[in-house]
Amino acid sequence: MSERETWPKPLDAIMLNVGDGHWLYVEECGTRTGVPAIFLHGGPGSGAQIAHRSLFDPNRYHAILFDQRGSGRSHPYLERRANTTRHLVADIEAIRRHYGIDKWIVVGGSWGSTLALAYAEQHPSRVAGLVLRAIFLGTTAEVQWAFIDGPKRFRPDLYQNFLAMLPEAERAEPLGAYLHRLTSTDPRLYEPAARVWHAYERTLSELDPGQVTLADATGPGRMPPTPLMEAHYIANEFFLAPRALIDNADRLKGIPGVIVQGRYDLLCPPAAAYAVARAWGSAELKFVEKAGHAMTEPGIMAALRDAIGRIADKVTVARR
């Protein structure tokens, strides 16, 4: 039997109407008498995955997973209207109210960590604990580092390959050029750009991705959807004021938490995790050595399971 076949299956799955024409795919996993937890996927736009269920022991947790607006199995697919950070935070609250949960553990990585922080800072009384991975604060500087400055310094061959996929006239401002293409309504522009962007980002997320040629990504097959939603959020500065998540981190004080951070994460470097941990004050910062950004990097999943368990222990003690 494969590992995939042993992953927990959902108790139930629904389509939840959250207004603005959006319906969210939401699933319950584990046991309804367990410690409540919600998982926030990354991207924006990647959707919840079967592997994410494995973070939660089905005998211990009442885990909620969902696809954010426009993502995965939610409807309308790839809809960017009424799709902002404010809307997603409101959706998390709508899910909590739907299931009658008072407080829960909030788990999220990369963009999921951004959304988790935004939610917890707005609704701290509803958060029993936070487990975050690969902190991203939604700033222009972080995007510039992740897609331009970082690759220039650490993966210059890959970066030149990224440039080469653009017409020569557009290579002076590659980030703007890709965003223009990814936010276009013309599939002749956004489809090839999405394929290249996806392969580029995936390669940057791994410490040892092997040999990658971005030209290989432009072949046939399903277009990866995440770059289109990412571009929408990047173009709008993630619908966050500059430094908003750091400036409001005092609202997290007293909430127990663990930040799991790959030591060599090129997309979301450790500086952001360190800054959040200092501003938060009640969080543990756990570095995973010899790991990059992706959740599948060695040691990351185990560290997340351990962190969720330790936060759940504190929640259980608090209930007695």
Q: Is 20 a catalytic residue?
A: no
Pairing of strands 22-30, 35-40: unpaired
Q: Is 74 a catalytic residue?
A: no
307 in Cβ contact with 258 (< 8 Å): yes
**Residue in 22, 54, 62, 265 annotated catalytic:** 265
**Residue in 46, 110, 113, 205 annotated catalytic:** 110
Tokens standing for residue 316? 């259980």
3-state secondary structure of 77: coil
Calpha distance 36→39 (Å, rounded): 10
Calpha distance 115→43 (Å, rounded): 11
Contacts of 111 (CB under 8 A, 6+ apart): 41, 42, 43, 44, 46, 136, 233
Q: Is 293 a catalytic residue?
A: yes
H helices of the chain, in order, are 3-6, 85-99, 111-122, 140-144, 150-154, 156-164, 174-182, 187-204, 226-235, 244-247, 270-280, 300-319
Catalytic residues: 110, 265, 293
